[in-house]
Every structure is written in C-alpha cells, then in structure tokens.
A and B are shown apart, each in its own frame.
Chain A
C-alpha cells in the first residue's frame, strides 16, 4: 500500500479537440435531419453538407480563438466575445464553403435567389445558437474543473509537506527526560540486575531505532508497530514499577495488517505521559485491535488521570488526526473519549484492506 501517492488528472488536449469535433458532427447531423423533417429545406444531402460546413467552421474558429487568447479565468465577457466572433466568422466561412463543396463534389447548385438564402440564414442561426451554447458550457465546466483540480492538488501537496515536516518533528521529540531517566535506570541495573539491565537497553535501542530513523517506510505492519510500542512500554514498566500495568491484545489474524508508521505510538506515549506518570496510583494501559465489518479498529485505553491532565499535550494527537485524514480521506477516523470511570480512550478506525 502506498500512502504517498496523490493522484492528479492531467488533461489530454488532443483528445479534447477530437471530442469537440465529434460532438460538432453529431449536432450538425441532427440539425440537418431536423431541418429536413420539419421541411424548411427538402433534400437531406445538401442540408447535411451545409450543416457540417457551418458546424466545422464555427468549431474550428472557436478552438483557434481559444488557443490564441486562452482566457485563464472563468469570466463571461472574454468567452462570449470569442464565441460571437467564432459564430459570425464561422457562418461566413460556412456559407461560402458549403455551396462550394456541394457544387464541386456533388454537383448540386444552391441558388441564393430562390429563397435558399433565407433558409441558409435560419440554419446558420440555429447552428450558431446550439454550437456556441454547447462550447460555452463545456469551456466553463472545463475551466471550473481544472481550477478545482489545481486547487485540490496544491492543498494536498502543501498539507503533505507540512505533515511530513511535523512527523519529523514528532520523531525528534524523544523526551530528554525519558531518555535520561531510562539511562539512569540501566546504569543502576547493570550493578544490581545485569540481565534486566541488558533487556532494558535492548528495548531502548529498539525504541530509538524506530523513533530516530530518518526515513520512515510508507507503511509498516501492526505487528511491527507493536514491537516498538512494546519496547517503549517495557521501559516504562521498569521505570514506573507497579504503577503501570499494560496489555496488548492484537489477534493473530491482524498482525500483518498494514498501517502507517508512528500512528499509534504517540497515543501510547500520551497515555503514559499524561495519564499514568503524573498519578500516584498509576493505572493500566490496554491496546486492543479488532476487526469490524468495514474497518480495523485500534483502541488505546488508559485508566489514568484523564482529560484534566491531558491539556498539556496536543502536538502528537493533532498530527495523528491530520495524517489519518490525509491518508484515508473521509474513510479513516480518530477520536478521543472519556474512559469510565476514569482515563482516556483513543480510537483509530481505518478502512479494511485485503491481505
């Protein structure tokens, strides 16, 4: 699973132009059919040829004018001006080209004097109206869409940059207090209980390895995340003694589940730092992963001091929320609840993926 990719659509210009011509030809044919059936002008072939020559001329002219002036914003005036010029110009060209084609390829003469002229005008007007309306709305839709797409991209790109930066900061935020206290503990254990001291050192190394690594993978597994968290909690367990009890409950079926790195860790560290450590009694931390019908749910529950002491934090929590929003869009959720009778429950829900 790649969490870094931001999809953006690149409009393919030639395809747009081909599409414009395609629609023009369809509309032209329909108008010719309409004129023939209604009876403004009888034979279908000359109607079709005239219709196409108007349509294609107008279409070509409008495309050329748009290319030439390229109005950046969705402002009505420049677009209407281009349309009007295109329609009038296209009509003049079409009214010359149509009879010319009819005469040279089909040997049909259109006599402007026996009323055909009027019909040509009517046809041109119907055309001008239809085609310009069509182009106008398409141009407008297109530029609105492009603007929105561009905006979305810019927003995502900057959000991503900010988040990456703050993730780095978060990583660098290994508390000196925690680090020095842990080292003091190890120093003491080396004399009194060398085996315990050694395992604490190993846990510290494991914790630092993840927390200090410059480049984080886009995704780790739930299992890998839990390794770091376990290392962290083991250390805290030695430091805090009876004041900290913890359980990690991840079903075997979920251990290989992909998860963005450093998503759970801030929650666990928060629980210890603000829930357990400042309390004389301490408390329990439970990490529970479960599978619901549509999402994976991970809870970090503590029975510590609760929200009152929670005030001091924020950076880690805000980062978790932002990242979930960015990675999973509206499909991922993060929220904090009051745990009863006391403590905090942090919940992450991410959409399920096939393993």
Chain B
C-alpha cells in the first residue's frame, strides 16, 4: 500500500532536506505536500488525508504542538525539533515520536521502521494523543513560568517608547492614571495602580500604599516616623514614600 505524508517546517531548505532523506530511506512514501506554517499544515491534513505528518515544533502562527492537537487521531505524528531540552525530555516520557535536527539518516530509518510497524498492525494512530499533547503542553508551559509585564509603553513626543520595568523607581497614582517615575523623569500611563499590580512581578514590585507601587530593587531604606508610620527612601531619589499600615508587613523582616 502506498503511504502519504506531509512535511511542515517554516524553513524551506529543511523541508527539502527531510524530503530527500525520506526518499532514500522510504522510497515508496509519497510526500503529498509541504507546509510553511501551522495553518498550512492543518489545511494540508484536511485536503490530502495523509497517514503521517512530520511537524516542526517552532513554526509561526500555530506551533507543531497546536497542529498536533487538532489532527490527533487523523494521522501519525512525528515532531521535528532543532533543540529543546524540555521538549525532548517530555517526548521521551510520553513516548512520542520525535526527530532532532539535523536529522540523521540512521535515526530516520529507526523512525520509519517503527512507523511501518504501527501502520501495519493498527489502522488508527494513537487515539489518546490529544491527551498526551495537553500533558506535554502543560509540562512545557510550566517551564516558561508566568509572563509578567516587562515593558511599559509611554508616549514620547509623537512616538511611543518602551521603558523596561527594571528602570522604574516607582509608580504613583495620578487621578485615574498612573505616573511612572524613573531616573530620567516621569511619564503618564493610562493604567490604574490596581491594574498594574496584577501585571507586575510581585517579587520585583511591591504595593506599599493604595496609590504607590515600588521597585524593590530601588529601595534604599525604610524607617518609622514618630507616629509609627513607615517611610521609604529610594536610592538616588530625594522624596520619601509613605507605607500604609496594610502593607507594613512586607517590611517586617527587613
């Protein structure tokens, strides 16, 4: 029986390479299409009904993982990746087929043998693949951690500039908006302190008052006023910031 496969990789040269290797290792295999991104891969699977899909993981638009989720059960999937320690570890745990770039002929031969075995014995490809991939994705996303705000966009003359959050001394509420205070000056952003708190890394930024969030790295010292209120001095800044009672616990160990 003739077998059909698609190759999805955003790098043209690598599609050509895999195709030529496959031709050597498995001359009967028909490559019925090549895709340059995830979306094209999905379309190809729908129109050509291949039994096998070679999916590069890092593709623009939809990644190889995303595509695999959609087409699981429809065809056998082999992931192709250049380098990803975590992904490879995860693949091994979940017994998913994968190839490392540059793809070697020996390794591809192994994969092809395994594929042929599977195609002959059972007709339906891994039924619980969706589950496996969900598992993989959750494993992989844990590695990257939560994305906190790293840049603040501010208006500068007629263009929009980016300020890395590390450079911000503190945020100060100003009516509905917020003033971003840096060494270079201050700028207004259309976000409230409340919105900001959720988006900033709590290890890096502390709210110390209803209207103030400080960059922990910029704190010079904390002192108590006669009335017991906390007062914060930042490095290279003259003004003093008030810590309200609700947030004093942050400084207990300092």
Contacts and interface: CB of A to CB of B under 8 A. Distances in A.
Interface in A296-319: 307, 310-312, 314, 317-318
Interface string B32-72: 00000101000000000000000000101100000000000
Contacts of B83: 175-177, 179-180
A181 B11 contact: yes
Contacts, number: 95
Contacts of A185: 11, 13-14, 17
Interface residues of B, number: 33
B17 A280 contact: no
A273 to B, nearest CB: 11
A238 B17 CA distance: 14
Given A177-B58, A241-B12, A311-B147, A184 B162 contact: no
B153 interface: yes
**Which label, helix, strand, loop or mixed, suits the secondary structure of the B interface?**
mixed
B37 A336 contact: no
Contacts of B10: 240, 243
Give the dominant DSSP class at A's interface. helix
A295 to B, nearest CB: 17
B151 A310 contact: yes
A277 interface: yes
Nearest to B57: A177
Contacts of A175: 83
A86 B185 CA distance: 48
A335 interface: yes
Contacts of A310: 150-151, 162
Contact of B164 (A177, A180, A241, A314): A314
13 contacts: A177-B82, A180-B101, A181-B82, A183-B101, A183-B102, A185-B17, A188-B17, A239-B11, A280-B61, A307-B153, A314-B150, A337-B159, A337-B162
Interface of B: 10-14, 16-17, 20, 37, 39, 58, 60-61, 82-84, 100-103, 147, 149-151, 153, 156, 159-162, 164, 166-167
Interface of A: 175-181, 183-185, 187-189, 191-192, 238-241, 243, 277-280, 307, 310-312, 314, 317-318, 321, 335-338
